[in-house]
Amino acid sequence: MSSIDDFITLVRDDLGLPIDDTDVDRPLDQVVGWDSVHLITLLTLLERGTGRSLSLPAALEATTLRGLHDVAVSG
């Protein structure tokens, strides 16, 4: 999972959030339905999908879905 489109599909399908490409740069607190449980679930899915551990501090600093995607692709 390296493309932002794959990331959007993961969030939409696996987390059940109704997002599209217009939501990736929206602050997380403005993403419909987003909460801290989604963050932990998404990190777990991304770690399974990439096969490597992700930085929790970096993920907590991310303010958008694109920021979380960047954490996932940068390791």
The domains of the chain are located at 4-74
Topology of domain 4-74 in CATH is 1.10.1200
Q: Judging by beta carbons within 10 Å of its beta carbon (0-12, 13-18, 19+), is residue 29 exposed, middle or buried?
A: exposed
pTM equals 0.91
69, 70, 74, 75 alpha-carbon torsion, rounded to 10°? -50
pLDDT tens digits along 5-60: 999 999 999 999 999 999 999 999 999 999 999 999 999 999 998 898 999 999 99
